[in-house]
Chain A
């Protein structure tokens, strides 16, 4: 489904701030595969997702999605096939527009935006059904502006917006990091349900090692722009957070102090 081949990305090339954020990354995801990514601050996790989504243009390598070379597609064009949820709950929605208007914009993903009505009765019914599944009572607030929602409600809504057209790929960049632990858990639970329901090919970045092992079917560890560990199957099932930290220290040569990476919710 997704194939990343020898991708590199350097920021501020040629300046004193030059920074190699991705260093020859190779990664393949099968249809319906759910991968979690962990790694320390500045490991290049966000950069990898941003390069896949087209926020940054890559320096070297190729990216294929469903056998189409999307390496040089602009961001908006890739978004027709890729759903995204960001870390910042403000980034996923238009705050001055209503819940149903936001959903309508997401529902038209990949279709031409003409002069037809922005939202119709059938869509409203569909949105109500889907919102009810979130279990947050948003189905009764569809005409309210998104600006009135809490961070957790917004992330849940953004998740629904990202998946309502069943994209080929779902990218989640620490989408629960800004939320209270209990709400984060709820959103992660929703993520699992939605991904399973549509068999979505998913990449989820997280700082929570426990969640990284608990969710999805494969876990990748990044360090200094490289993939230093790729776990799946039996090996992953047997993995514990403690042993994962050990592995990280062995492979990166960096001692892990109790930074964000250790936090388990």
Chain B
């Protein structure tokens, strides 16, 4: 693999890590399978691309954060107020966002940003100019990571984490779980949307279908991180998500290098997540087979 390709996947991994942190908040902290992600990622990209093409690249990611959190709020309200299952609520918002995203993009399926100034031009004229696409996302990711960690250590952050563990307990200590879910999903989709906003400017286009399977990529990153880097403390879990996202990109890059057609990418992502999710069932199955095998041996030994 060339150094260029390696650097490229590292850059992508860092930007996608912000999205993965969002998925971590909904899937792990709130314990809610939030599929809004596929839509809110594109929403961020669409907002960012439109503003960028109008010469306001910085406003893009900022407005994307607000737009994404609103999308998360809608999903949360569908679930908490209208009692729609989280999975379905997310799918409904994701579907609705498809039309919203097209509207944001002026009814075009694709917004090219060729020759536009993006946030990655911020370091132009400085000695580190060539590494702008590495430095800027890293700085944003670090900021997001630190803020998220500090937030999860506040009084509000505590009850947010407890909501995923045991919502009954959260209500029993006087906290409205409808609000913690609202705040959690808003935050999660703000992260996802910010990630989409940066990706659009990074790759110089936004496409209405660029979010397909995003939630699975996020989940893959979370699970890879957990399996390889562990879950002992909160900080470790957050860092594991980031490393998982980067590792995921590297694996994909290597697979492409080895000749996998890019069109198979989604299939491979689905396989990785299937494998990761079925890990405990496979382990149990193997253990059960081993037990039966041992019992059989013993029985044979006994009769001999």
Q: Which residues of A contact B (CB under 8 A)?
A: 53, 74-77, 79-80, 83-84, 86, 90-97, 101-102, 104-106, 108-110, 113-119, 161-162
Are A97 and B161 closer than 8 Å at their CB atoms? yes
Once the chains are docked, how many angstroms separate the CA of A80 from the CA of B175? 8
Report the minimum CB–CB distance from A97 to chain B (whole Å). Answer: 6
Once the chains are docked, how many angstroms separate the CA of A109 from the CA of B171? 10
Are B166 and A91 closer than 8 Å at their CB atoms? yes
For residue A118, which residue of chain B has the nearest CB?
A: B158
Are B153 and A97 closer than 8 Å at their CB atoms? no
- With contacts A76-B177, A97-B161, A110-B174 taken as known, whether A92 is within 8 angstroms of B155 at the C-beta atoms is no
Chain A residue contacts of B162, Cβ below 8 A: 94, 97, 102, 105
For residue B151, which residue of chain A has the nearest CB?
A: A115
**In the complex, the 3 A-B pairs of residues with the closest C-beta atoms, listed nearest first:** A94-B165, A94-B162, A79-B174
Chain B residue contacts of A74, Cβ below 8 A: 176
- With contacts A79-B172, A93-B169 taken as known, whether A105 is within 8 angstroms of B156 at the C-beta atoms is no
Of B151, B153, B164, B171, the residue contacting A76 (CB under 8 A) is B171
Are B155 and A76 closer than 8 Å at their CB atoms? no
Interfacial residues of chain B within 64-99, with CB under 8 A of chain A in the complex? none
- With contacts A97-B158, A113-B156, A117-B153 taken as known, whether A105 is within 8 angstroms of B173 at the C-beta atoms is yes
Chain B residue contacts of A105, Cβ below 8 A: 155, 158-159, 162, 170, 173, 175
Chain A residue contacts of B168, Cβ below 8 A: 86, 91
For residue A90, which residue of chain B has the nearest CB?
A: B166
Are A113 and B171 closer than 8 Å at their CB atoms? no
Are B155 and A115 closer than 8 Å at their CB atoms? yes
Are A94 and B161 closer than 8 Å at their CB atoms? yes
Q: Which residues of B contact A (CB under 8 A)?
A: 151, 153-159, 161-162, 164-166, 168-177
Q: How many A-B residue pairs have CB under 8 A?
A: 85
Chain A residue contacts of B175, Cβ below 8 A: 76, 79, 105, 113
Q: Besides A76-B174, A161-B173, 12 other CB < 8 A contacts?
A: A79-B172, A79-B173, A84-B172, A93-B169, A96-B164, A97-B161, A105-B170, A106-B173, A113-B156, A115-B154, A117-B154, A118-B153
Of B153, B155, B157, B161, the residue contacting A96 (CB under 8 A) is B161
Report the minimum CB–CB distance from B13 to chain A (whole Å). Answer: 27
Chain B residue contacts of A118, Cβ below 8 A: 153-155, 157-158
Once the chains are docked, how many angstroms separate the CA of A188 from the CA of B291? 42
- With contacts A76-B175, A77-B174, A79-B171 taken as known, whether A93 is within 8 angstroms of B166 at the C-beta atoms is yes
For residue A104, which residue of chain B has the nearest CB?
A: B158
Report the minimum CB–CB distance from A101 to chain B (whole Å). Answer: 6
Chain A residue contacts of B166, Cβ below 8 A: 90-91, 93-95
Chain B residue contacts of A84, Cβ below 8 A: 172
Once the chains are docked, how many angstroms separate the CA of A93 from the CA of B159? 11
Are B171 and A94 closer than 8 Å at their CB atoms? no
Once the chains are docked, how many angstroms separate the CA of A180 from the CA of B47? 59
